[in-house]
Amino acid sequence: MNALFLFASTFLLVFALGLQSLNVNGGHYRMAFFTSFVIGAMQMVLLKLGPDAGALEIAAYLGGGPLGIIASMKAHEYRIARIKRQPTPQ
């Protein structure tokens, strides 16, 4: 069960870090603000579970990051495309 939590927390941490970077570079202040909460929460989980990690947990930890960054890039692409399609309020 710890392996699943480590995978999920690493995935979400890297996902949020990737989104925050893209949002900061794109000037999306609100979205960058909210990703900070996810980053902090996932760091707390990793700090709690990481020190006792065995081989399976380490593999789960290492697997979450690469998948998290790719997912964040795709999610950001999708979200920005949706924002651009919406009509501008007047």
**Spatial CA neighbour of 12 closest among 56, 71, 53, 57:** 71
Give me the mean pLDDT over the 4-29 stretch: 93
- Rounded to whole angstroms, how far apart are CA atoms 14 and 65? 5
As a whole number, mean pLDDT of residues 34-41 equals: 94
**Average pLDDT in the chain:** 90
Residue with tokens 């900070």: 36
pTM summary value: 0.83
Residues near 89 by beta carbon (within 8 Å), at least 6 away in sequence: none
* 61-87: average pLDDT: 89
Contact criterion met (CB below 8 Å) for 13 and 72: no
Quick one: pLDDT band at residue 89, thresholds 50, 70, 90? Answer: low
Assigned token pair, 23: 């949002």
- pLDDT grade for 86, boundaries at 50, 70 and 90: confident
Cα–Cα distance for residue pair 87/27, rounded to 1 Å:
19
